[in-house]
Amino acid sequence: MIEWLALVIFFMAAMVIVYHHIGYPLVLKMLTQGLENTLPNFYHRRHQITPLDHMLPSISLIMPAYNEAGTIQEKIRNLAALDYPDYKLKVVLVCDGCTDGTAQLANETLAESECSHLNLSVVEKPENCGKVAILNEAISLSRCSVVALSDVSSLLSNDSLLVVAAHLSNENTGVICGSYHFLKSLSVGEQAYWQYQRSIKTRESALGATLGVHGAFYAFRRELFDLIPADTINDDFTLPVQIILKGYRCLYDPRIIAMELEQACNEMDFQRRKRIAAGNIQQALRHAGLLHPKFGKIAFNFFSGKFLRPFMPLFLFMALASSALLSLSYTIFQIFLFVQLGIYGITVLYIFRRSQPNHKRLRVLFYLVSGHIAMAIGLINYLSGQTKGQWKRVNTET
């Protein structure tokens, strides 16, 4: 009886693991055949003032910042070079208790001749309030029809705002997000992972059922904004979902590129992924109502991608524990057990050594497995109440 139960647990866990990582992308590929090229045309302004400028929406681009002295100057120069009418764009930089001169550097850069036309306001908070509090206040004070949120450390492609305007001209679209890239990627594993994520995002958007966005850059209709709960960890999931629940679409456009300037070390990357994991379990539990069949494609995407993700460590443990029990009776499960223990052991060794394997394929495997280990730690931290929604700039798509 125990052996039979162990077999059921092993194959159930294995099926869920394979479905989440391989099956879901394949199903998305089949469902989106012929739908990939549905992106709207956008107004190619080419930095020329034209009578059509007045048709573009007013955009408030808000940047929460905490000690961003290393990237703030390049960010402001990047925003000054975007192709969008000056009088239609208002940029708000909120320095949340910064102690490294971020605000001073921003004002100095704004005085440069190539940046002086940019309508940018620098708001300095004397104490650190937290990112969610900053977003709630800044977005609520905005009077523009569209709000865009962007990380200080990411540079935007030249026509990003024009693409946003084209999407939001459709009254059924509430949120539009872009593609996340690294100027200097940490590893080939990270590169492969983000390529995988971009493929999924593209197909989810083709179905009109994208859920989470990337905090490096996304935009939405100001009128649809609701205050974000103060304890929220992954604000760039919660905010779009609040809009989706009102019946609006959240779409992804790879023509919008957010290029990450900062490169984290292995230790920083692992700590970041632990926090993301805590946010993933919070959003899975908080938005479990999205699993209701009435949400159709959104429910399917939420279950297959976002809901299953934080529980992957549990399924991996189930597979490991059941194969350990079955290895007492079956040679094939002795092999399964040996392979699993070997992969986990080597991954943990590299984590403690703060390094990565040399072989390209092993690096991809290391990035995936170390992500699940970080997810397990983040899951434990969240359930034990150790993770709070304090200020962190987090990339949630893991």
Q: Which CA distances in Å does 280 have to 119, 227, 294, 352?
A: 36, 19, 23, 24
Q: Convert the pLDDT of each residue in 32-58 to its tens digit.
A: 887 766 788 898 898 999 888 999 999
What stretch(es) of the chain map to CATH 3.90.550.10?
A: 51-263
Residue length of the chain? 398
Radius of gyration (Cα) for the chain, nearest Å?
22
Residue 13 has pLDDT above 80, yes or no: yes
The pLDDT value given to residue 388: 58
Q: Using an 8 Å Cβ cutoff, are 326 and 42 in contact? A: no
Q: Convert the pLDDT of each residue in 66-84 to its tens digit.
A: 999 999 999 999 999 999 9
pLDDT over 90 percentage in the chain: 63
User: What pTM did the predictor assign?
Assistant: 0.88
d(CA 6, CA 8): 5
The dihedral formed by the CA atoms of 341, 398, 194 and 168, expressed in degrees to the nearest 10: 160
* Alpha helix (H) residue ranges in the chain: 2-18, 24-31, 72-80, 102-110, 131-141, 160-168, 188-206, 235-244, 266-286, 297-301, 312-326, 331-353, 360-383
Percentages (nearest 5) of helix, strand, coil residues in the chain = 55, 15, 35
Exposure pattern of 51-76 as b/e (b: 16+ CB <10 Å)? eeeeebbebbbbbbbbbbbebbbebb
Q: What is the mean pLDDT of residues 220-244?
A: 94
d(CA 145, CA 221): 6
Q: Look-up: residue for tokens 């048709």?
A: 55
Q: Which residue has the higher pLDDT, 253 or 385?
A: 253
The pLDDT value given to residue 215: 87
Strand partners, 125: 96
51-263: which CATH architecture? Alpha-Beta Complex (3.90)
Beta-carbon count within 10 A of 129 CB: 17
* Lookup: tokens for 96: 């949340």
Q: Convert the pLDDT of each residue in 368-381 to its tens digit.
A: 888 888 888 888 88
Q: What is the mean pLDDT of residues 6-16?
A: 96
The pLDDT value given to residue 398: 47
